Amino acid sequence: MVLVTGGTGLVGSHILLHLTQKGLRVRGIYRQAERIAEVERLFRFYTPEAAELLGRIEWVEADLSDYFALEEALQGVRQVYHAAAKVSFNPGESDRMLKVNSEGTANLMNACLHCGVGKVCYVSSIASLGKALDGGVIDEQVEWQADDHRSAYSYSKFRAEMEVWRASKEGIPIVIVNPSVIIGPVNWLRSSGRLFYSVRKGLPVYTGGVTGFVDVRDVAAAVVLLMESQSVNERFILNGENLSYRDFFTMVAQALGRRPPFLKVGRLMTELGWRVNLLFCYLAGKAPAITKDTARTAQTVSRYSADKFSRQFNYRFTPLKEAIENTARWFKAEEQ
């Protein structure tokens, strides 16, 4: 039996799809029952064999904060894909995010040790990697450094990785993947779906930042390859392409039939913008749409290398244009 945490999320649902297509019995962890329906729609989007594949999933309700629920879910499990995480750049959710991502991962690793799990793959993030001091390409050798510009999300993922490495020292073979911005079918208002939603609503501006993007199908395929391989106690960056935000949003706009962004917003405007937005949201009692972390990320130039994974597994990542078009088809189908 194989266990997938975060089974109803963007990455977790695609891992479930990939594993069931290989004929495996899978146990998926969920927290909100209504989101299982989203997974069912996703399977139907990809394949006419959705009903058969969904029948191979055993759904288990559990929370990363509940050690005993995790221990029960791990009974008879030989491999664990840990894809559950809380992603937020809202300062008000920092403590909750740290609890879910770091303490939750510690609970899971302890339960895996207790239950004798054979191997764990942790789906981390490029947010837990370091910054190239010379402005060069970031690879697996660039270590995380604490500084004032680190987001709470970055810190929580770094702490979670430390729990996974700790478990490896205590005897569990592990692999860690660090995907860049993951593109794929998901709810409009979750994960990278928010980027597509912004363009659909008419995003007029773009920033000067650059980052990496990767197709969620590549992430799912990569983690399964790693779990079936002899690779242990290693990390791998998963990145399809490095692209400017302007080019990315333009490609999304073209796929959705919307006008591409046409106004460049500089660093000064983004710094002013998040402060003004924070004030208005505070007065209105709403969560901020733009935060200090998102504003600064939007202006940061970061390029990532997935050469280690590509060379070791002779793997060719999906072109970003194809990933965007696949996601756009999903959103259009959801609207019908």
- If you write DSSP's letter for every residue of 90-104 in order, what string do you get? -GGGHHHHHIIIIIH
Q: Are 216 and 183 in contact (CB under 8 A)?
A: yes
At residue 331, the pLDDT reads 87
Show the DSSP H helices in the chain as ranges. 10-21, 36-46, 50-54, 67-73, 94-98, 104-115, 152-169, 193-200, 216-228, 245-256, 267-284, 292-298, 307-313, 320-335
Angle (deg, nearest 10), helices 320-335 and 216-228 = 120
Q: Which of 96, 160, 172 is nearest to 127 (CA)?
A: 160
Span 160-187, pLDDT tens digits: 999 999 999 999 999 999 999 999 998 8
Span 41-84, pLDDT tens digits: 999 999 999 999 999 999 999 999 999 999 999 999 999 999 99
Span 88-120, pLDDT tens digits: 666 677 788 888 899 999 999 999 999 999 999
**pLDDT surpasses 90 at 294:** no
At residue 98, the pLDDT reads 86
What percent of the chain clears pLDDT 70, i.e. is strictly above it? 87
> 237 pairs with which residues across the strands?
178
Predicted confidence band of residue 282 (pLDDT cuts 50, 70, 90):
very low
Predicted confidence band of residue 148 (pLDDT cuts 50, 70, 90):
low
Span 78-88, pLDDT tens digits: 999 999 988 76
At residue 236, the pLDDT reads 98
**Which residues contact residue 86 at a Cβ distance below 8 angstroms, ignoring those fewer than 6 apart?**
93, 96, 97, 100, 101, 156
At residue 90, the pLDDT reads 67
How far apart are the C-alpha atoms of 222 and 18, rounded to whole Å? 10
**pLDDT surpasses 80 at 299:** no
Q: Which of 96, 195, 107, 191 is nearest to 152 (CA)?
A: 96
Q: Are 101 and 115 in contact (CB under 8 A)?
A: no
Predicted confidence band of residue 290 (pLDDT cuts 50, 70, 90):
low
**Complete domains list, the chain, with CATH:** 2-180+216-239+304-318 (3.40.50.720)
The single-letter code of the amino acid at 259 is R
The whole-chain average pLDDT of the chain stands at 87
The pTM of the full predicted model, rounded to 2 decimals, is: 0.92
Of the listed ranges 110-114, 234-238, 284-288, the one predicted with least confidence: 284-288
Q: Are 29 and 75 in contact (CB under 8 A)?
A: no
Q: Which of 202, 258, 211 is nearest to 237 (CA)?
A: 211
**274-292: b (≥16 Cβ within 10 Å) or e:** beebbeebeeeeeebebbb
Strands 79-82, 57-61: pairing is unpaired
The set of long-range contacts for 194-199, using a CB threshold of 8 Å and a minimum separation of 24, is 195/248, 195/249, 195/252, 196/252, 196/256, 196/327, 196/328, 196/331, 199/249, 199/252, 199/253, 199/256, 199/258, 199/261
